[in-house]
A and B are shown apart, each in its own frame.
Chain A
Amino acid sequence: MGDFNLAGFLTAAVLAGVPLLFGTLGEILTEKSGNLNLGVEGMMFMGAVGGLAGPYFYEQVGGTSQIIAVLLGLVLAFLCAAFGAFLYSVLTITLRANQNVTGLALTIFGTGFANFFGEAIGSTNASNYMSVGKPTVDAFNNGIMGLKGAGGVGDFFASMNFMVVLGLLLAGFLAWFLGRSRKGLNLRSVGESPATADAAGINVTAYKYLATVLGGGICGLGGLYIVMNASSGVGGTWVHNCVGGRGWIAVALVIFATWSPTRAILGSLVFGALSIMRLYINLGIPAQIYSIFPYIATVIVLIAVSMRRKRENQPPNSLGLAYFREER
């Protein structure tokens, strides 16, 4: 372990954690409204393909502004995933379908939707791939703090792109929103006891819809980052099944973070680190065994959380249940 590169390891861990952070934050917002949306994987897929398609078509029609390309990516990733969450909302909130199955259906649909359009759009291109140019990819990956070549800690900060900062800001905002604001309090009360919230004059349906749709959009940003992340070596190109289970880890991280946006930062970092560990730390075990570490860690977290039931660590009380006003 003599040549262990701490700055490199931490940088890679943070970057690998970014998609998880967005997925976790989106799902926290969703679950606070009492909706357990298991479609995070599907929504990340939809965000990924939408976020790639925006800059792709912009470049195809000859656009060269990186700022517009990035904005198109962000907006379309958000909208595509929010559309998936909207379908989920209509089914579970208005039509009262089972949340578990609807979430799974959304994952199947979103995965298919993204692979379908990723390949269909790619097949119209001469290269047979849906791919954006290097400047756009760089815009997502280049550090925004300068400091290049500073060495050590400086290198670490130099690698932080705007998506990292956006994720951290969002976590901070959500922590304030859920913990300190009036609307956040209303949202939490909807998740804890919709009947009580309804009686207090809070529009339960509107809160549930908004939290779920916005939460879905945030998950989509995680998908966008997966597609644009250059450390995969294929940044900016559609890769079949590119999300590859990270949406599910995000769902688990919500439990790990015990529904706290600030703890979600720590969780994403830890899981990001676990997923890239084999490149940096040699424990003398096969690579395939490394790859299951994040999942084993998730299982351990699940068990630990369920064994020590602290009151403040519990899920929203109505999580997973549809609210029928008529059946109060």
Chain B
Amino acid sequence: MSSQVKAAALREPLVRIAKRTDISKGQAWAIRAAAILLALVAGGLIVLAMGHNPFLVYADMAGGALGNKTGLKETVKIAVPLLGAALAIAPAFKMKFWNIGAEGQILAGGIAATYFALFWADKLPQVPLLLLMFLAAAVAGAFWGLIPAVFKAKWGTNETLFTLMLNYIALGIEQYLQNGPWKDTKGTGFPIIAQFAKGARLPKVFGVHAGWIIVLIFVVLMFLYLRYTKQGYEISVVGESEPTARYAGMNVSKIIIRTMCISGAIAGVVGFMTVSGADYTLNANTAGGVGFTAITVAWLAKLNPIVMVFIAAFLAVLTKGSGTIQTNFGIPKSMADVLTGIILFFMLGCEFFINYRLIFRGKGEAHHG
């Protein structure tokens, strides 16, 4: 090797990054699976540091969430709103509209459904009442999603913070109703809203409220909507590049507003399912962080509704399992959030290795040009 070549080799950086386009879908998902595995190893190290055997803890988590009928029902009950909210977020995120206000939209839907559950239950039979609650929740959720969308479409107002602030405003309204006009007068004096009458409760199917059927129908509809309809196509074009969408003659404002109505409406229905199916009442925990965790679900699934089913189920296992290990090992329940965060970090990081490859000095192919 001449000294000149040697000098050139030394000037070359240790690692170069090149885009890759040759990776297959299977390989990509294998990298993602490896990332989840690594995340669980990282979580296991925390468990180990706390003086527990990570294998026993993980096994206990899985056992608590899936091992018996009661646990399984609980897990499904956790997964339903998570999946529903992830479906709500999907079209907005596909449009690169960062709707982190699912939490507030869920509450808005819950509030609207609760109104009919409290004041119309004695006037209507069960089926029309439930339908009315469903519709009211969808409309309220859509309205709560519409507000930031209009401002975004008209003035480009930052939607991330706007939707977020609307969460707290919805929560304040809920708290006001719970402490004031809707407070249970027959109760113990605690500021809570009364349990719904029988007619306002969503019936159970196979031991879990019928919300799981609604949400699975939504999965199919959302999959078809995003993949095969003109509106779904418009959403992805706006998401990729707004100028392109404009140039193609699309009405971007209209698409933003319409999509956020759909997004909010689905979140609103999640609120309906929670108050009418799971809790039989409305409280500050009706949304309970689901709107945020659902962002994780939607993103991990690459906004694919079918994949979301599995991710939501997986996170539901983590959540339910964390409750179990709190009881059995005294590990705080927040372990679920820690694990979710770690998994998300690894999944976000692994996308780099799917989209790019590293070329080390001296190896790999010759330079171009």
State the A residues within 8 Å of B (CB): 38, 87, 90-91, 94-98, 100-102, 104-113, 115-116, 119-120, 123, 245, 248, 251-252, 255, 286-289, 291-292, 295-296, 298-299, 302-303, 306-307, 326
With A119-B334, A248-B164, A302-B162 as known contacts, state yes or no: A90 contacts B349, CB within 8 Å.
yes
Question: Is B165 within 8 A of A109, CB to CB?
Answer: no
Do residues A251 and B98 form an inter-chain contact, with CB atoms below 8 A?
A: no
Closest approach, in angstroms, between the C-beta of A258 and any C-beta of chain B? 13
With A95-B351, A251-B161, A286-B179 given, name 10 new contacts (CB 8 A): A105-B296, A105-B341, A108-B341, A113-B334, A113-B337, A113-B341, A248-B165, A289-B176, A296-B165, A303-B155
Establish whether residues A119 and B352, one from each chain, have CB atoms under 8 Å apart when the complex forms.
Answer: no
Q: Which A residues are CB-close (under 8 A) to B50?
A: 120
Known: A303-B151, A307-B155. Contact between A286 and B98, CB under 8 A?
A: no
Q: Nearest chain B CB to A84's CB is how many angstroms away?
A: 10
* Residues of chain A lying within 8 A (CB to CB) of residue B166: 295, 299
- List, sorted by A's number, 20 A–B pairs whose CB atoms are closer than 8 Å: A87-B345, A91-B349, A97-B351, A101-B299, A104-B296, A108-B292, A108-B341, A109-B341, A112-B340, A255-B161, A286-B180, A288-B172, A292-B172, A295-B168, A298-B161, A298-B165, A306-B155, A306-B158, A307-B157, A326-B18
State the majority secondary structure of interface residues on B. helix
Instruction: Answer whether A295 and B172 are a contact pair too, CB < 8 Å, given A100-B160, A286-B179, A306-B158.
Output: yes
Closest A residue to B19 using CB positions: A326
A residues in contact with B348, CB < 8 Å: 91, 95, 97-98, 101-102, 105
Residues from chain A with a CB closer than 8 A to the CB of B338 are 109, 112-113, 116
> CA A206 – CA B116 in complex, angstroms?
57
Q: Which A-chain residue is minimally distant from B176 (CB atoms)?
A: A288
* Interface presence of B156 (CB below 8 A): yes
Contact B334 A115 (CB under 8 A): yes
B288, chain A: closest CB distance, angstroms: 12
Residues of A within 8 A of B157 (CB): 302-303, 306-307
Residues of chain A within 8 A (CB-CB) of B179 are 286-288
B295–A101 touching, CB < 8 Å? yes
Instruction: Give the residue of B100, B168, B356 whose beta carbon is less than 8 angstroms from that of A245.
Output: B168
Main secondary structure of the interface of A (DSSP, over half): helix
| A252→B167 CA distance, assembly (Å) | 14
Set of chain B residues within 8 Å of A112, measured between Cβ atoms:
334-341
Chain B residues in 8 Å Cβ range of A252: 161, 164-165
Given the complex, which residues of A lie within 8 Å of B356, measured CB to CB?
A: 96
Residue of B100, B162, B296, B345 contacting most chain A CB atoms (<10 Å)? B345
In whole angstroms, how far apart are the Cα atoms of A251 and B336 in the complex? 25
Nearest to A289 among chain B residues (CB) is B176
Docked-complex contact A108 and B151, CB < 8 angstroms? no
Tell me the complex Cα distance, A104–B292, Å.
Answer: 8
| B216 interface contact, C-beta 8 A | no
Query: Would A292 and B161 count as touching, CB distance under 8 A?
Result: no
| B41 lies within 8 A of chain A by Cβ | no
Asked whether A105 lies within 8 Å of B332 as measured between CB atoms, the reply is no
**Cβ of B205 under 8 Å from chain A:** no
Is there an interface contact between A108 and B293, defined as CB atoms closer than 8 Å? yes
**CB of A36 to closest CB in B, whole Å:** 9
Kindly report which residue of chain B lies nearest to residue A84, judged by CB atoms. B341
Closest residue of chain B to A112, judged by CB? B337
Lowest 6 A-B CB distances belong to which pairs? A112-B337, A109-B341, A292-B172, A115-B334, A105-B344, A288-B176
CB closest residue in chain B, given A111: B337
- The answer, yes or no, to whether B366 is at the interface (CB within 8 Å) is no
Contacts of B344 in A (CB 8 A): 101, 105, 108-109
Whether B342 sits at the interface, judged by CB under 8 Å, is yes
Given contact pairs A87-B345, A291-B172, A108 touches B156 in the complex (Cβ within 8 A): no
CB distance from B179 to the nearest CB of A (A): 6
**CB-nearest residue of chain B relative to A292?**
B172
A326 touches B17 (CB 8 A): yes
Is A288 in contact with B341, judged by CB distance below 8 angstroms? no
For the complex, give the distance between the alpha carbons of A95 and B175 in Å: 42
Q: How far is the CB of B348 from chain A (nearest CB, A)?
A: 4
B38 an interface residue at 8 Å Cβ cutoff? Answer: no
Taking the nearest CB of chain A, how far is it from the CB of B315, in angstroms?
11
